[in-house]
Structure 1
Amino acid sequence: MTTTVLQCCLNGSRDADEHPGVPVTAESCAADAAAVVAAGAQDLHVHPRTGDGRDSLEPADVAHWVEAVRAVVDVPVGVTTGAWAWTGGTSPARAVAAWTVLPDHASVNWHERDAVDLAAALVDRGVQLSAGLWTEDAARDWLASSWREHTSVVLLELADAPDQRETAEALLELVRPTGIPVLLHGEGRSAWPMLDLAVELGVSTRIGLEDVVEGPDGEHVDGNLALVELASARGARRE
């Protein structure tokens, strides 16, 4: 049986006013990381932040967050390179080139302007490339490029909408023939349905406060640990 992975997306760009459990410092993120890995998460995705809480690709911020998480867990740790995370004065690709501590993997949203430059910078540094495909157009652009040969994981990211199954199945039909591992997830209203679909179809998935702040029935959850426990109970962790 193909191994599937349950990733935990610990913080995203959320603030504590959206959910009090969101880890907004490297130290609180590390504490959550230790808890969710003990509960079954096999991979982590974090958004490093500046001292005042903004997403960041700056070398010092990436190093601080990645080192803090790695100090307490022994699973792959990835970061975002989303356009919203760039706060510096040069380019995202130059920031990646200057990283002093490398994450295991990094996501690149293929519809964003700097996607190819970011992919090149990551591959040059030896960071595994996760191609974030949000639409069929983005999937076709990625498929038509040479970068699929350098992609370790395809991230199929579904919008916050009540019914995304048809879109997810169309994306899967496009990318699964490549044989590259797929991680399927939603956000907001699609988070739990996409997790269940990933379990049904036997692909990796993720859960965490970046994507959703409630349980599958809209119930309150205390934080990332509760989300991972619920996801594990629904079959999201399987080897």
Structure 2
Amino acid sequence: MRPPLQVSLNGSRGVAEGAAVPVSPEDLVEAALGAVAAGAGEVLVHPRTPCGRESLSPRVVGPVLEALRDAGIGVPVVVPAGVGAEPDPAGRLERVRSWTVLPDRATVHFGEPGAEELARALLARGVAVDAVVPLGGGAGSGDSPSAAGSSAAGVTGVAGVAGMTGAAGSGTDGVEPLVRFLAWPAPDHGRVRLVAEPAAADPALVAGLRWLPPVPVLLCGREAAAWPVLRLAARCGAGARTGLGDVLHLPDGRPARSNAELVVAAVAELAATAAPAGAATAGSR
């Protein structure tokens, strides 16, 4: 069974990047409902203050989550817990521990300081963790300025990394994000997913996935890499993501008018590039 398609409603984008990008709680609800109706199985949303700033404050996160759930979207909701919303590692921990309304999952960027402790705090609160790592030279995350400059360990070298124990100390700055994730003794692998962000749809990634821990994998690309990486996810059976938070254009290059339009296109691309029946896949481990 194919993993659910995630939609990134807004990402780190603001209204200046296009009228289609939802920002207000009302627009986010409308966008989420449309995307789920089009086939999305998860919603990733970046809560913002009225002035447009990303925030982890319970007074910002809580109302957005309540609005989405009250609207009856009926799928898991994911929020980011990164430097875009709170630059200070201690501040991120304090915010997460003060949440009064909890998301189903939260993204933690393993290229950021304090990632391991933040992930443990989320798991302790009952929030599943999406561990985000860039893959390939220059791969980065639009959600994470610190991760954007990282050249994460290439997947072809993961075999050597997987045997490491203690080489990446908890919270050590400058350690490659993938190395940090592999060295992290997750307290509950059953509630952890790896979100790999390759810079390009490198076929070597498919072979390299076998070295990763026994957790589900979601592949996502951004801008020019978005559609090639989505097709790569389909070929290897990993989870996939689309949405205006990642890409503003459809596979044929036309500007996307909504998140729902991107989801419709993604569903078609996934169906056309599905993994062969019976093949061992990253998403089914």
The answer to whether the superposition gives a TM-score over 0.5 is: yes
Q: Which has the higher contact order (CA 8 A, sep 6+)?
A: 1
SS at match of 2:240: strand
CA separation in 1, counterparts of 2:204 and 2:45?
26
Structure 2 match to 1:214: 249
Structure 1 match to 2:97: 97
Summarize the Cα distance change of 1:62–1:166 in structure 2 as closer, same or farther, 3 Å threshold.
Answer: same
Aligned Cα root-mean-square deviation (Å): 2.2
CA separation in 2, counterparts of 1:170 and 1:61?
41
Summarize the Cα distance change of 1:88–1:166 in structure 2 as closer, same or farther, 3 Å threshold.
Answer: same
The CA deviation at 1:87 is 6.7
Summarize the Cα distance change of 1:19–1:219 in structure 2 as closer, same or farther, 3 Å threshold.
Answer: same
Structure 2: state its 5+ residue gaps. Answer: 135-151, 154-175, 275-283
Structure 1 match to 2:179: 140
User: Please, what TM-score do these two structures have when normalized by structure 1?
Assistant: 0.90
The CA deviation at 1:166 is 4.9
Deviations 1:28-76 (A, max 9, x none): 1011101111111001111011111011111110101111111221100
Structure exhibiting the larger radius of gyration computed from Cα positions:
2
Assess if the C-alpha contact under 8 Å between 1:184 and 1:194 holds in 2. yes
Q: How many positions carry a matched residue from both structures? A: 233
2:264 maps to a residue whose letter is E
Summarize the Cα distance change of 1:236–1:36 in structure 2 as closer, same or farther, 3 Å threshold.
Answer: farther
Deviations 1:59-116 (A, max 9, x none): 1101011111112211000100121111789610110000000000000001100211
Instruction: Please tell me whether residue 204 in structure 1 is matched to residue 244 in structure 2.
Output: no
CA separation in 2, counterparts of 1:90 and 1:144?
22
SS at match of 1:74: coil
Structure 1 match to 2:258: 223
Structure 1: state its 5+ residue gaps. Answer: none
The CA deviation at 1:125 is 0.7
CA separation in 1, counterparts of 2:55 and 2:81?
8
Instruction: Please tell me whether residue 152 in structure 1 is matched to residue 192 in structure 2.
Output: yes
Assess if the C-alpha contact under 8 Å between 1:139 and 1:174 holds in 2. no
CA separation in 2, counterparts of 1:32 and 1:92?
27
Structure 1 match to 2:63: 64
Assess if the C-alpha contact under 8 Å between 2:201 and 2:232 holds in 1. no
Summarize the Cα distance change of 1:179–1:218 in structure 2 as closer, same or farther, 3 Å threshold.
Answer: same
2:219 is aligned, of 184, 189, 203, to: 184
